[in-house]
């Protein structure tokens, strides 16, 4: 119930009237901002996974999350969830990379492997409220590196790490920096004098989209599909009442509410459709309607534009959301609230809308 109220409130709060303005190419996003946006998306998904899946499923149906989740038919730990999606991103060779690391790692793969990672870990331990940023050159290319502190936000973090046989530190306390999320974004060739390191907004949006997709893939494949196949847990639209797993769309939608709430008037992402099961997910603006129509015809690239709302400029992109499995088609076509009953495999059921604020 609590969650429904929350979502209704956010919906009205952010029902801004976007109007389209001419697209200009001079606007770029500073890599520090880009890193903060990407980090916010990673954190929002991790929070939804930790609170709505790991903690809730343990409390309601006794489903545990364990390090050996595969063998034990359990849920992966949040750190493992993040590692799984970062592996998907790294494999895509987008340039973007991220991972969880620590100077006292349980898993030796998570120890710092470069000077910048060691320096960053030391710095965020000293000033836990400030991420550490640095531009480095590697083989003629420049990279923006960001290290965000990862704190012991609950007693469970402290308890599990202090008691883990492979942890070299046994005295973590609540609030301590336990490690960091390290993020790397390419910013171009190092040519010396060129100080324009801004990243085109469409590139930042592609990064954000790829993180959302990677997390949704991990959630669908490693959590929902796997646990359903072995009869351990099931996803349901009424997950809240039924002590069930969230549908993948609901996972994304809840993370999106969280990010809107955390980044007031800033970054935002939504799942929308011309044929929504939930009317709240319908096209809210002309841009959204046109974009959804466009990706239905030209699904190869996202529909993009710069729009204005309340005196502020935003970059917006709509990526097609394809019916990649028969389950998407079956569930949407047969849902009583679905206005469209003839989706086919491969059709775009809707789109992922990403909104990124621009500095004017």
Residue numbers 209-268 binding ligand HEC by CB under 6 A: 237, 247, 249-250, 253
Does residue number 8 form part of the binding site for ligand HEC (CB under 6 A)?
A: no
Listed in sequence order, the DSSP H helices in 127-165 are: 155-163
Check binding of 284 to ligand HEC (CB under 6 A).
Answer: no
Residues 186, 189: Cα–Cα separation, whole Å: 9
Instruction: For Cα atoms 79, 85, 88, give the angle at the middle one, nearest 5 degrees.
Output: 145
> Rounded to an integer, what distance in angstroms lies between the CA atom of residue 293 and that of residue 289?
6
Residues 6+ apart with CB under 8 A from 140: 189, 190
**Least distance CB 15 / ligand HEC (angstroms):** 16
For ligand HEC, the closer of residues 28 and 248 by Cβ is 248
Q: Is 296 in the site for ligand HEC (CB under 6 A)?
A: no
Up-side HSE of residue 341: CA atoms within 13 Å toward CB?
Answer: 4
Q: Is 176 in the site for ligand HEC (CB under 6 A)?
A: no
For residues 309 to 348, the per-residue mask of contacts with ligand HEC, x marking binding by CB under 6 A and - elsewhere, is ------------xxxxx-xx--xx----------------
**Is residue 290 near ligand HEC by the rule CB under 6 A?**
no
- Please identify, among the stretches 78-86, 191-199, 225-233, 256-264, the one whose residues bind ligand HEC according to the rule CB under 6 A: 78-86
Q: Which stretch binds ligand HEC (CB under 6 A): 20-28, 76-84, 112-120, 261-269?
A: 76-84
Alpha-carbon span 34 to 13, nearest angstrom: 24
Could you tell me how many residues of this chain bind ligand HEC (CB under 6 A)?
44
- Should residue 271 be labelled a site residue for ligand HEC when binding is judged by CB under 6 A? yes
Reading across the β-sheet that carries 132-138, which strands appear in turn? 97-101, 177-189, 141-151, 132-138
Confirm or reject binding of residue 103 to ligand HEC (CB under 6 A).
no
Q: Which of 154, 286, 326, 346 binds ligand HEC (CB under 6 A)?
A: 154
Strands 348-358 and 268-272: antiparallel
> Judged by CB under 6 A, does residue 208 bind ligand HEC?
no
Would you say the C-alpha torsion 111, 184, 89, 148 has a positive or negative sign? positive
């Amino acid at each position: 119930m609590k969650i429904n109220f929350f979502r209704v409130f956010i919906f009205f709060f952010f029902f801004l009237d976007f109007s389209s303005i001419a697209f200009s190419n001079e606007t770029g996003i500073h890599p520090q901002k880009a890193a903060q946006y990407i980090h916010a998306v990673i954190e929002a998904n991790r929070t939804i996974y930790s609170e709505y899946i790991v903690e809730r499923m343990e409390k309601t149906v006794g489903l545990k999350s364990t390090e050996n989740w595969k063998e034990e038919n359990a849920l992966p730990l949040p750190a493992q969830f993040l590692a799984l999606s970062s592996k998907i991103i790294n494999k895509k060779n987008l340039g973007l990379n991220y991972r969880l690391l620590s100077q006292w790692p349980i898993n030796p793969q998570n120890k710092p492997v470069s000077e910048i990672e060691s320096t960053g870990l030391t710095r965020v331990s000293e000033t836990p409220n400030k991420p550490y940023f640095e531009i480095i050159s590697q083989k003629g290319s420049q990279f923006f590196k960001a290290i965000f502190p990862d704190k012991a936000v609950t007693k469970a973090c402290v308890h599990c790490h202090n008691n883990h046989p492979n942890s070299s530190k046994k005295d973590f306390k609540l609030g301590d920096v336990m490690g960091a999320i390290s993020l790397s974004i390419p910013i171009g060739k190092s040519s010396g004098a060129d100080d324009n390191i801004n990243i085109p907004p469409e590139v930042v949006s592609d990064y954000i989209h790829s993180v959302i997709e990677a997390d949704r893939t991990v959630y669908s494949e490693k959590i929902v599909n796997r646990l359903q196949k072995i009869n351990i847990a099931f996803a349901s639209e009424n997950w809240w009442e039924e002590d069930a797993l969230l549908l993948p769309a609901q996972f994304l939608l809840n993370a999106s509410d969280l990010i809107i709430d955390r980044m007031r008037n800033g970054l935002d992402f939504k799942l929308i459709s011309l044929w929504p099961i939930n009317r709240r997910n319908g096209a809210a603006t002309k841009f959204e309607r046109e974009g959804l129509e466009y990706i239905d015809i030209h699904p190869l690239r996202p529909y993009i534009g710069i729009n204005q709302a309340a005196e502020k400029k935003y970059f917006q992109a709509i990526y097609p959301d394809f019916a990649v499995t028969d389950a998407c088609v079956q569930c949407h076509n047969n849902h009583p609230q679905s206005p469209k009953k003839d989706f086919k495999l491969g059709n775009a059921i809707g789109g992922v809308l990403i909104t990124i604020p621009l500095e004017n």
